[in-house]
Amino acid sequence: METITPQHFLILSFLLFTVGFLGVLIRRNLLLVLMSLELMLNGVNVALVSFSRTSLNLDGSLFVFFIMTVAATEVAVGLALLVALYKRRRSVFSEDTALLKN
Amino acid sequence: MDAYLIFSNENIWSEIWPELSLALGALFVLGLDLFRKPGSSTSLCGLVAIGFQAILLGVHLFDYLVWHHTFDRDTFSGMLTQGIQGDVMRSFFLFSSLLVSVLGNQYLKNKSLRSGEFHHLTMLATAGLMLLSQSNNFVMLFVSLETVAICFYTLVAYNRNSSKSLEAGIKYLIFGALSSSLLLFGIVLLYGVGSSPEAWGAVFDGAEGQDPLGFQYIGNLIEANPDHLLLRAGVVLIIAGIAFKIGAAPFQIWVADVYHGSPMPITAFLAVSSKAAGFFVLISLVNGPFLGMCDFLLPLFGFVATFTILFGNLASCAQQNLKRMLGLSGVAHAGYLLVAVMASMHFAGDSDRAIWVLFFYLFTYLLASFCVFGVMSLARLEDETDHEFFHYENLAKKHPWMGFVLVCGIGSLAGIPPFAGFIAKLLLISVAFEAKLYFSLSVMIIGVAISIYYYFGWIREITFHPKPSFSDDNDQNSPVIWEKGSYGLFKPCMISLAIISLVLGIWQGPFGDAF
What confidence tens digit (pLDDT) does each residue in B281-300 have?
Answer: 999 899 888 888 888 899 99
Residue A102 lies in a domain: no
Numbered residues of chain B with Cβ closer than 8 Å to any chain A Cβ: 139, 142-143, 146, 150, 153-154, 157, 160, 163-164, 166-171, 173-174, 177-178, 180-181, 184-185, 188-189, 191-192, 195-196, 199, 211-213, 256-257, 260-261, 319-321, 324
Tell me which residue of B402, B385, B389 sits closest to B466, measured CA to CA: B389
Position A74 scores a pLDDT of 93
> The CATH number of the domain where A28 resides is what?
1.10.287.3510
pLDDT tens across B364-395, in order? 999 999 999 998 888 877 777 788 887 888 78
Position B225 scores a pLDDT of 85
Above 80 in pLDDT, residue B436?
yes
10 Å CB burial of residue A78 (0-12, 13-18, 19+) is: buried
B257 to chain A: nearest residue by CA?
A100
Residue A98 lies in a domain: no
Q: Is A39 on the interface with B (CB under 8 A)?
A: no
Residue A28 lies in a domain: yes
B178 to chain A: nearest residue by CA?
A37
Cβ within 8 Å, pair A47-B174: no
Residues 6 or more apart from B112 whose CB is under 8 A from it?
A: none
Q: Is A6 on the interface with B (CB under 8 A)?
A: yes
Domain, as residue range, for A59: 6-92
Polymer length in residues for chain A? 102
Cβ within 8 Å, pair A51-B188: yes
Chain A environment of B164 (Cβ under 8 Å): 99-100
Cβ within 8 Å, pair A102-B320: yes
Tell me which residue of B177, B176, B289, B308 sits closest to B234, measured CA to CA: B289
pLDDT tens across B110-126, in order? 887 888 889 999 999 99
Between CA B360 and CA B84 the distance in angstroms is: 14
Position B401 scores a pLDDT of 87
DSSP structural state of residue B347: S
Please tell me whether residue B319 adopts helix, strand or coil conformation: coil
Averaged over B46-68, what is the pLDDT? Answer: 85
Reported as a pLDDT band with limits 50, 70 and 90, residue B486 is: low
Tell me which residue of B448, B135, B420 sits closest to B310, measured CA to CA: B448
Tell me which residue of B241, B276, B266, B252 sits closest to B164, measured CA to CA: B266
Between CA B90 and CA B96 the distance in angstroms is: 10
Q: Is A60 on the interface with B (CB under 8 A)?
A: yes
Residue A101 lies in a domain: no
Reported as a pLDDT band with limits 50, 70 and 90, residue B337 is: very high
Between CA A48 and CA A44 the distance in angstroms is: 6
Cβ within 8 Å, pair B184-A47: no
Cβ within 8 Å, pair A74-B260: no
The residue type of B269 is F
Q: What is the pTM of this model?
A: 0.92
Cβ within 8 Å, pair B178-A81: no
Alpha helical stretches, state H, B225-293: 229-246, 253-261, 264-269, 275-287
Please tell me whether residue B81 adopts helix, strand or coil conformation: strand
Alpha carbon B250 to chain centroid distance?
A: 19
Residue A23 lies in a domain: yes
Position A14 scores a pLDDT of 94
Position A56 scores a pLDDT of 85
Cβ within 8 Å, pair A88-B166: yes
Q: Which residue among A17, A24, A70 sits closest to B185, beta carbon to beta carbon?
A: A17
Residue A99 lies in a domain: no
Cβ within 8 Å, pair A70-B143: yes
DSSP structural state of residue B431: H
Phi-psi region at B42: left, alpha or beta (left = phi > 0; alpha = psi -120 to 50): beta
Between CA A58 and CA B195 the distance in angstroms is: 10
Q: Which residues of chain A have pLDDT under 70?
A: 1, 97-102
Please tell me whether residue B69 adopts helix, strand or coil conformation: coil
Q: At what angle do helices B138-156 and B275-287 cross, to 10 degrees?
A: 170
**Distance between A101 CA and the closest CA of chain B, angstroms:** 7
DSSP assignment string, B389-408:
GGGGTTHHHHSHHHHHHHHH
pLDDT tens across B240-282, in order? 999 998 988 888 889 998 999 899 999 999 999 999 999 999 9
Averaged over B164-172, what is the pLDDT? Answer: 91
Residue A51 lies in a domain: yes
Chain A environment of B211 (Cβ under 8 Å): 59
Alpha carbon B180 to chain centroid distance?
A: 17
Position B69 scores a pLDDT of 61
Q: Which residue among B168, B196, B211 sits closest to A55, beta carbon to beta carbon?
A: B196
**Distance between A74 CA and the closest CA of chain B, angstroms:** 7
C-alpha distances out from residue B252 to B63, B167, B236, Å: 38, 17, 17
Q: Which residue among B154, B213, B257 sits closest to A59, beta carbon to beta carbon?
A: B213
Q: Are A78 and B170 in contact (CB under 8 A)?
A: yes
pLDDT tens across B192-215, in order? 988 888 878 777 766 666 788 888
DSSP structural state of residue B486: -
Phi-psi region at B137: left, alpha or beta (left = phi > 0; alpha = psi -120 to 50): beta
Cβ within 8 Å, pair B150-A100: no
Residue A19 lies in a domain: yes
Please tell me whether residue B388 adopts helix, strand or coil conformation: strand
Between CA B404 and CA B418 the distance in angstroms is: 13
Cβ within 8 Å, pair B170-A63: no
Position B41 scores a pLDDT of 59
Cβ within 8 Å, pair B166-A51: no
Above 90 in pLDDT, residue B319?
no
Cβ within 8 Å, pair A54-B170: no
Position B351 scores a pLDDT of 67
Chain B environment of A51 (Cβ under 8 Å): 188, 191-192, 195-196
* Number of domains comprising chain A: 1
Q: Are B359 and B475 in contact (CB under 8 A)?
A: no
Over the Cα atoms of chain B, what is R_g?
A: 23
Averaged over B43-47, what is the pLDDT? Answer: 83
Position B209 scores a pLDDT of 62
